[in-house]
């Protein structure tokens, strides 16, 4: 089966991943039907063998020389290394072997080499970053001067566009090492140990001799995964391996014509999770030529604020509506509670660890184990909550773009900005928001519809007026113009007079800046991410929102005569008849169905608040206090039934029409 996707004009291939679950399997050698727990056990045996070999490879090659050799892309003879990690490791002669007495096939070794090669390649970026920080180490690691910031960005590869938070976190890591050992580290491999190995099976490194994955011929939503699994935890020969057929139910997100790839299997809590990779054709996103754009701004109290803008033929940019906001106050509050709980548990576990000093027989060792399990549980909850929040926010932004007919989404780029000057609590909250995940998920979802996602510089997007670029005055609220704050913005320019929510003005500025600078959009060749790196003053002068004049009706609605008398509408069904024109007595005029208007003295309960949408008073069993006939509305939301001398016949048309 071909794994290539047929593309038409204006299309590109998109590789995505969906989550699946292996619920059962059939051993083809014995015909035995395996349950989910038995299947998870056998997959766990294979994953354990792979993890042991990965740990051995990392221990042997976790050093600067080997990582640099692998990242260089050429071997000792000057030949180019293959793109597949397992093939590159074999070209370099880095092999792994199973434990003594265990027999595995070559594809199991491939999966171990592929996983180890990916981890070693990812370490090269951290090694270069740490080397650049050590070369331009500041006098005060807690606070760099502007000259020291320029020096460290010049020393780091592609440091001009590197987020400041990444540089700060690595600086703190090196400073902690220097405080503990009294010297600076040599490289990142002295600061960090070899990463822990995850128990998984990268079936993408295998071929048909280890695993196959085919879609069902008649049911496009089903597939069959066949793979070799051991029948015991320590297979002694090839006879201890057998083929297992596992039916797969494809998620609805997998298109019917998509090409399926071999998944990645992860045993977890007695089940086998499968990451199903697939490739399908999608419209190609354009870099320039956009007319309608969606601007997305990150807010302090609101996670996302977005709105659409249109670029006209004469160069004017107008806003399409007032935009919308994605508010997640409840989710963010829960996220911050979990963060504080995690910090408390880590502090307590660290205290127990210092008291026990590694003694497993200590009285506090059991408590430390319980705390470790609780920390893992809280960390999983935080991870799942952040992931769900990121997907929901990305989906909301994409839906806004589709509804507005936008072909591009301009996102505020906050990689080079840090949360400072807002207090310790607010700085921590802003630093731990899932903005990076939201942008990545937004790019992933937008690629399916051919909508481009472009990062725009964030400088002065909330500071300047979207209509005249005058610096704004920020206040706490529109009805409190003298109280300092950040929520409400007003333009001091007398000729403009714009005012509105701070985030609303920000997304207008972002959308206008993106439409004006779309010819400066650059595309990363490695990741395919689009971004506008710099702001040009000539183009920025035209990145303003032109206010649209209010619509004025051309029809003359001035009154020229007496108002035409309206015919009486039929009464609603609950009344059956209109009230009398002028009642006699102190009761006043009320709709029929409540207290009668012909009584001189009303009952005590009738003086309470009476309203129309009520229910009838029960006639059996429950008799609330004050629910006597004629008493009107009372505490239990019952209504007194009307007393008629002659009950009129029901009118079929009385329930039609408006209640007004």
Contacts 24+ apart (CB under 8 A), 339-343: 339/382, 339/428, 339/432, 341/378, 342/375, 342/378, 342/379, 342/382
pLDDT at 326 over 60: yes
For residues 617 and 146, which has the higher predicted lDDT (pLDDT)? 146
Q: Among 126-140, 395-409, 611-625, which stretch is predicted with the lowest mean pLDDT?
A: 611-625
Q: At what angle do helices 64-72 and 36-61 cross, to 10 degrees?
A: 100
Rounded to whole angstroms, the Cα distance separating 355 from 373 reads: 19
User: Using one digit for the tens of pLDDT, what is the confidence trace for 225-264?
Assistant: 999 999 999 999 999 999 999 999 999 889 888 999 999 9
Q: Among 81-95, 282-296, 608-622, which stretch is predicted with the lowest mean pLDDT?
A: 608-622
In the chain the domains, ranked by start, together with CATH numbers, are 11-137+184-283 (no CATH), 292-327+383-540 (3.30.420)
pLDDT at 570 over 70: no
User: Using one digit for the tens of pLDDT, what is the confidence trace for 30-79?
Assistant: 999 999 999 999 999 999 999 999 999 999 999 999 999 999 989 888 89
How many CB atoms are located within 10 Å of the residue 149 CB? 15
User: Using one digit for the tens of pLDDT, what is the confidence trace for 126-172?
Assistant: 999 999 999 999 988 888 898 998 899 999 887 877 878 788 889 99
Contact 307, 295 (CB under 8 A): yes
Q: Which residue has the tokens 């754009």?
A: 293
pLDDT at 586: 53
| 3-state DSSP helix/strand/coil % of the chain, to nearest 5 | 35, 20, 45
pLDDT at 400: 95
User: Quick one: average pLDDT of 100-108?
Assistant: 92
pLDDT at 507: 93
3 state SS of 449: coil
How far, in Å, are 450, 610, 654, 655 from residue 659 at the CA level?
48, 18, 10, 9
Q: Which residue has the tokens 């998984």?
A: 200
Q: How confident is the model at residue 634 (pLDDT cuts 50, 70, 90)?
A: very low
Q: How confident is the model at residue 91 (pLDDT cuts 50, 70, 90)?
A: very high
pLDDT at 173: 92
pLDDT at 573 over 70: no
pLDDT at 171: 92
Contact 293, 511 (CB under 8 A): yes
Sort strands 638-639 and 615-616 into parallel, antiparallel or unpaired. parallel
Q: Among 195-209, 273-287, 412-426, which stretch is predicted with the lowest mean pLDDT?
A: 412-426
pLDDT at 510 over 90: yes
pLDDT at 612: 45
Helix (H) or strand (E) holding 317: strand 317-326
Q: How confident is the model at residue 592 (pLDDT cuts 50, 70, 90)?
A: very low
pLDDT at 560: 77
pLDDT at 398: 95
pLDDT at 351: 92
- Give 18-53 as a DSSP string: EEEEE--EEETTT-PEE-HHHHHHHHHHHHHHHHHH
pLDDT at 115: 95
pLDDT at 101 over 50: yes
Q: How confident is the model at residue 610 (pLDDT cuts 50, 70, 90)?
A: very low
User: Using one digit for the tens of pLDDT, what is the confidence trace for 523-532?
Assistant: 988 888 899 9
pLDDT at 92: 93
Q: How confident is the model at residue 486 (pLDDT cuts 50, 70, 90)?
A: confident
Rounded to whole angstroms, the Cα distance separating 230 from 49 reads: 10
| Dmax (CA) of the chain | 112
How many CB atoms are located within 10 Å of the residue 241 CB? 20
Q: Compute the mean pLDDT over every residue in the chain, rounded to the nearest whole number.
A: 83
């Amino acid at each position: 089966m071909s794994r290539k996707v047929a593309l038409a004009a204006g299309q590109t291939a998109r590789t995505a991943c969906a989550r699946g679950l292996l619920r059962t399997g059939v051993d083809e050698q014995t015909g035995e039907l395996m349950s989910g727990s038995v299947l998870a056990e056998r997959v766990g045996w294979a994953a354990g063998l792979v993890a042991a070999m990965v740990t051995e490879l990392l221990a042997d090659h976790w050093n600067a020389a080997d990582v640099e050799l692998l990242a260089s892309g050429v071997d000792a003879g000057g030949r180019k290394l293959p793109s597949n990690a397992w093939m590159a490791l074999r070209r370099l002669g880095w092999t792994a072997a199973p434990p003594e007495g265990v027999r595995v096939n070559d594809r199991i070794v491939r999966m171990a080499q592929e996983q180890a090669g990916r981890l070693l390649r990812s370490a090269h970026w951290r090694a270069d970053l740490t080397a650049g920080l050590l070369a331009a180490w500041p006098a005060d690691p807690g606070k760099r001067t502007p000259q020291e910031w320029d020096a460290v960005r010049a020393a780091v590869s592609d440091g001009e566009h590197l987020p400041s938070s990444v540089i700060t976190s690595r600086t703190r890591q090196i400073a902690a090492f220097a405080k503990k050992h009294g010297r600076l580290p040599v490289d990142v491999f002295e600061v960090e140990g070899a990463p822990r190995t995850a128990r998984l099976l990268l079936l993408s490194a295998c071929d048909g001799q280890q695993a196959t994955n085919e879609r069902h011929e008649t049911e496009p939503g089903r597939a069959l995964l066949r793979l070799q699994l051991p029948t015991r935890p320590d297979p002694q020969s090839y006879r201890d391996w057998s083929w297992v057929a596992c039916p797969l139910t494809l998620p609805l997100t997998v298109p019917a014509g998509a090409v399926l790839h071999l998944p990645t299997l992860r045993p977890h809590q007695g089940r086998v999770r499968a990451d199903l990779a697939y490739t399908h054709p999608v419209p190609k996103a354009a870099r320039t030529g956009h007319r309608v754009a969606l601007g997305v701004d990150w807010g302090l109290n609101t996670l996302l604020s977005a709105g659409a803008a249109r670029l006209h033929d004469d160069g004017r940019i107008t806003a399409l509506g007032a935009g919308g906001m994605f508010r997640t106050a409840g989710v963010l509050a829960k996220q911050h509670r979990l963060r504080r709980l995690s910090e408390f548990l880590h502090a307590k576990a660290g205290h127990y660890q210092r008291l026990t000093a590694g003694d497993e027989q200590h009285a506090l060792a059991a408590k430390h184990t319980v705390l470790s399990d609780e920390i893992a549980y809280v960390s999983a909850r935080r991870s799942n909550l952040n992931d769900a929040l990121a997907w929901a926010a990305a989906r909301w932004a994409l839906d806004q773009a589709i509804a507005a007919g936008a072909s591009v989404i301009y996102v505020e780029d906050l990689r080079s900005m840090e949360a400072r000057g807002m207090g310790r609590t607010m700085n921590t909250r802003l630093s731990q928001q899932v903005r990076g995940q939201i942008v990545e998920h937004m790019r992933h979802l937008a690629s399916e519809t051919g909508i481009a996602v472009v990062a725009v510089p964030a400088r002065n997007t909330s500071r300047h007026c979207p209509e005249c670029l005058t610096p704004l005055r920020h206040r706490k609220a529109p009805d409190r113009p003298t109280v300092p704050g950040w929520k409400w913005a007003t333009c001091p320019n007398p000729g403009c007079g714009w005012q509105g929510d701070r985030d609303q003005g920000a997304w207008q500025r972002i959308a206008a800046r993106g439409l004006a600078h779309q010819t400066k959009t650059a595309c990363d060749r490695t990741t395919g991410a689009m971004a506008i790196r710099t702001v040009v003053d000539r183009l920025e002068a035209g990145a303003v929102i032109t206010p649209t004049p209010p619509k004025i009706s051309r029809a003359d609605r001035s009154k020229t005569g007496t108002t035409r008398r309206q015919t009486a509408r039929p009464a609603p069904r609950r009344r059956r008849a209109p009230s009398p024109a002028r009642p006699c007595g102190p009761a006043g005029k009320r709709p029929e169905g409540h207290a009668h208007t012909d009584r001189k003295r009303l009952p005590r309960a009738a003086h309470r608040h009476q309203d129309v949408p009520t229910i009838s008073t029960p006639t059996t069993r429950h008799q609330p206090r004050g629910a006597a006939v004629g008493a009107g509305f009372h505490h239990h939301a019952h209504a007194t039934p009307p007393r008629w001398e002659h009950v009129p016949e029901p009118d079929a048309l009385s329930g039609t029409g408006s209640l007004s």
